[in-house]
Amino acid sequence: MPFGFLSRVPGMRNVALYTSVPVFEPLPKVPDHPAIEEEILDWWEGQEIFAKLRRRNEGGPTFSFFDGPVTTNKPMLVHTAWGRTLKDVFQRYKALRGFDERYQNGFDCQGLWIEVGVEHDLGLNSKRDIEEYGLEEFARKCRDKVVWSANELWKGSKRLGQWMDWGNDYFTFSDTNIEYVWRMLRAVHERDYLYMGHRSTEWCPRCGTSISQHELIGSYVDRADPSLYVRFPLLDRPGEFVVIWTTTPWTLPANVAAAVNPREEYGRRANGEWVAVKRYPDETLVDRRPGSELVGWRYRGPFDEIVSVDHVVIPWEDVSMDDGTGIVHIAPGCGTEDFELGQKLGLPVLMPVDESGRFYDSFGWLHGLSTVESAEQIIGDLEEKGILVEAGLHEHRYPECWRCHTPLIFRLADDWFISVRDLRQQMLDANATVEWVPEYMGKRMDDWLHNMGDWNISRRRYYGLPLPFYPCACGHLNVIGSRRELEARAVSGLEQLEELRRPWIDRVPIRCDECGEAVQRVTEVGDVWLDAGIVPFSTLGWQNDEWVPEGNATGAARGLTTADLPDHAYWEKWFPADWVSEMREQIRLWFYSQLFMSVVLTGKAPFRKVLGYEKMLDETGREMHGSWGNTIAFEEAVDRMGADVMRWQYCAQPPDRNLLFGFGPAQEIKRKLLTLWNSVSFFVEYANIAQFTPSWSSLEPDAQAPLDRWLVERTHAFVVDAAGRYEAYRVDEVMTLFEAYLDDLSNWYIRRSRRRFWDEDQAAFATLWYALVQTLRVLAPVMPFIADHLWRNLVPDGPESVHLAQWPEVGEPDRALLDEIEEVRRVVTLAHQARASANLKLRQPLRRLVVEGANGASRHSAEIADEVRAKSVEFGTVEAQLHVKPNLPALGPRLGKELPAIRQALQSGDFEELAGGRFRVGGHELEPGEVLVERSGREGFAVASEAGLTVALDTVLDDELLLEGRAFDLIRTVNQLRKDEGFELVDRIVLTVPEGERDVVETHRDRIAGEVLATEIRVGGALGIAKS
Partner RNA sequence: GGGCGAUUAGCUCAGUUGGUUAGAGCGCCGCUCUGAUAAGGCGGAGGUCCGUGGUUCGAAUCCACGAUCGCCCA
Per CB under 7 A, residues contacting RNA are: 29-30, 213, 216-218, 220, 322, 397, 444, 447-448, 451, 453, 585, 588, 621, 657-658, 660, 668, 671, 674-675, 678-679, 681-682, 685, 743, 746-747, 750-751, 754, 758, 829, 832-833, 836-837, 841-843, 885-889, 892-893, 896-897, 899-900, 932, 968, 971-972, 975-976, 978-979, 983-985, 987, 1012
Containing 524, the helix (H) or strand (E) segment is: none
CA 860 to chain centre: 43
Q: How far is the CB of 197 from RNA (least distance, A)?
A: 16
- If the CB atoms of residues 428 and 548 are measured against RNA, the closer one turns out to be 428
Q: What are the strands of the beta sheet with 70-71, ordered from one edge?
A: 70-71, 106-108, 170-171
The residue among 593, 287, 310, 581 whose CA lies nearest residue 465 is 593
Residue in 805, 738, 720, 750 with CA at minimum distance from that of residue 775: 738
**Residue 228, helix vs strand vs coil:** strand
Closest separation in Å from C-beta 627 to RNA: 18
**Residue with Cβ nearer RNA (773 or 1012):** 1012
Alpha helices (runs of H) in 402-438, residue ranges in sequence order: 423-431
Nearest distance in Å: CB 395, RNA = 9
Distance of closest approach, residue 161 Cβ to RNA, in angstroms: 24
Closer by beta carbon to RNA, 93 or else 748: 748
Residue 778 vs 828, nearer CB to RNA: 828
Partners of 516 in the β-ladder: none
Q: How far is the CB of 277 from RNA (least distance, A)?
A: 20
- Who's near 366: CB < 8 A, 6+ residues apart? 253, 306, 352, 359, 374, 377, 378
User: What are the angstrom distances between the C-alpha of 527 and each of 134, 463, 532, 790, 948?
Assistant: 22, 11, 10, 48, 65
253: left (phi over 0), alpha (psi -120 to 50) or beta: alpha
Taking the least distance from each CB to RNA, the nearer of 512 and 993 is 993
As a whole number of angstroms, the distance between CA 129 and CA 979 comes to: 74
CB of 96 closer than 8 Å to CB of 781: yes
Closest approach, Cβ 544 to RNA, in A, equals 35
Q: What are phi and psi of 29, to 5 degrees?
A: -50, -45
Give min distance, CB of 979 to RNA, in A.
Answer: 5
3-state helix vs strand vs coil in the chain, percent to 5:
45, 20, 35
CB nearer to RNA: pick between 758 and 765: 758
- Least distance between RNA and beta carbon 889 (Å): 4
- Nearer CB in complex with RNA: 152/225: 225
Nearer to RNA, 585 or 700 (CB): 585
Closest approach, Cβ 934 to RNA, in A, equals 8
Integer Cα distance of 65 and 578 in angstroms:
6
Residue with smaller CB distance to RNA, 561 or 775: 775
* Residue number, 722 or 974, with CB nearest to RNA: 974
CB of 180 to RNA, least distance (A): 27
CB of 1000 to RNA, least distance (A): 15
CB of 971 to RNA, least distance (A): 7
Which stretch of DSSP H or E encloses residue 410? strand 409-418
What is each CA distance from 978 to 7, 453, 983, 1008, in whole angstroms?
20, 77, 5, 14
Return the CA Rg of the chain: 39
Give the sign of the dihedral formed by CA 549, CA 554, CA 559, CA 562. Answer: negative
Adjacent-strand bridge partners of 943: 952
Distance CA 203, CA 147 (A): 30
Residue pair 825/851 in contact by the 8 Å Cβ criterion = no
- CB of 55 or CB of 625, closer to RNA: 625
For RNA, the closer of residues 97 and 832 by Cβ is 832
**E-assigned strand segments in 97-240:** 106-108, 170-171, 194-204, 209-210, 220-233
Least distance in Å: CB of 572 to RNA?
A: 34
Which candidate, 953, 750, 719, 919, places its Cα nearest to that of 845? Answer: 953
Tell me the CA end-to-end span of the chain in Å, nearest whole number. Answer: 26
Residue 889 or 996 having the CB closest to RNA: 889
Nearest residue to 830 via CA among 853, 799, 856, 807: 853
Distance (Å, whole) CA 602 – CA 607:
12
The H or E element containing residue 343 is helix 336-345
Write the CA distances from 777 to 41, 469, 720, integer angstroms: 18, 54, 12
State the nearest-atom distance from the C-beta of 450 to RNA, in Å: 10
Which amino acid is it at 327?
I
Q: Which is nearer to RNA, 693 or 936 (CB)?
A: 936
Distance of CA 779 to the CA centre of its chain: 19
Q: Which is nearer to RNA, 671 or 996 (CB)?
A: 671
CB of 578 to RNA, least distance (A): 27
